[in-house]
Amino acid sequence: FQDSVDALLKSYFNSELENGGAKYSEGVYAVALNPKTGAVLSMSGIKHDLKTGELTPDSLGTVTNVFVPGSVVKAATISSGWENGVLSGNQTLTDQSIVFQGSAPINSWYTQAYGSFPITAVQALEYSSNTYMVQTALGLMGQTYQPNMFVGTSNLESAMEKLRSTFGEYGLGTATGIDLPDESTGFVPKEYSFANYITNAFGQFDNYTPMQLAQYV
């Protein structure tokens, strides 16, 4: 199985290189786990030297290298909303362009095209809504979104702790327990701004390893 995944990953990356899709990529990584037991079935990785173009096997990169996860963390953000009493069940919020005083708008990919409309928690995941996550993150700070609002940051630290605590329950930003050397627990900066916190709610600040992301799933 490991050999099959290695071969599949190499074939995929070579194909992406040929069509230009991976020209600036530092590599590609894949982890396969048994969903019932958590047993590791495969750890595969390919490191891409951007200067020479050389490809080298890098299976340990699945536990030592970290990446910005993007939208996959949105389920954990909603979980944090539930866990901290900010969201209730399949709660409906208005998916809308988010504008804070003195900052650029935050949008979901479709809000610019279709405008504002009500959206449930399930739909927020289905449509990959950024703005639902932002409103949830604001709720963790004890605030409700209003257009062009001024955001008080006195609760910023406690809100980030709540968000990261839920993420950690899924294995994000914590040790996975795998018996391998030099495992990274992710890149979770101690210093951050309100903007960092808000974007973390939709996966654009803290960094995690492929193994952590597999465990989260």
Q: What is the DSSP string of 5-42?
A: HHHHHHHHHHHHHHTTTTTT--EEEEEEE-TTT--EEE
Q: Kindly state whether residue 64 falls inside one of the protein's structural domains.
A: no
Nearest alpha carbon to residue 201 among 111, 126, 110, 108: 108
Using the predicted structure, report yes or no on whether residue 68 has a pLDDT greater than 90: yes
Within a domain: 38: yes
Q: Note the pLDDT of residue 2.
A: 83
What sign does the CA torsion over 201, 204, 205, 211 have? positive
- Short-list 162, 171, 158, CA closest to 208: 171
Residues with a known catalytic role? 71
Q: How many domains does the chain have?
A: 2
- Same-domain pairing of 52 and 74: no
Task: Name the band, by pLDDT with cuts 50, 70 and 90, for residue 20.
Answer: confident
Q: CA-to-CA distance for 148 and 170, rounded, in angstroms?
A: 34
Residue 122, CA distances (Å) to 22, 128, 177 in order:
32, 10, 31
The domain in which residue 46 lies consists of: 2-59
The answer to the question of residue 156 being in a domain is yes
The yes-or-no verdict on residue 97 having pLDDT over 90 is yes
Euclidean distance between CA atoms 44 and 5, whole angstroms: 7
- Is the pLDDT score of 18 beyond 80? no
Give the pair of three-digit tokens for residue 200: 């973390």
| Claim to verify: residue 18 and residue 77 sit in the same structural domain | no
The CATH number linked to 170 is 3.40.710.10
pLDDT of residue 131: 97
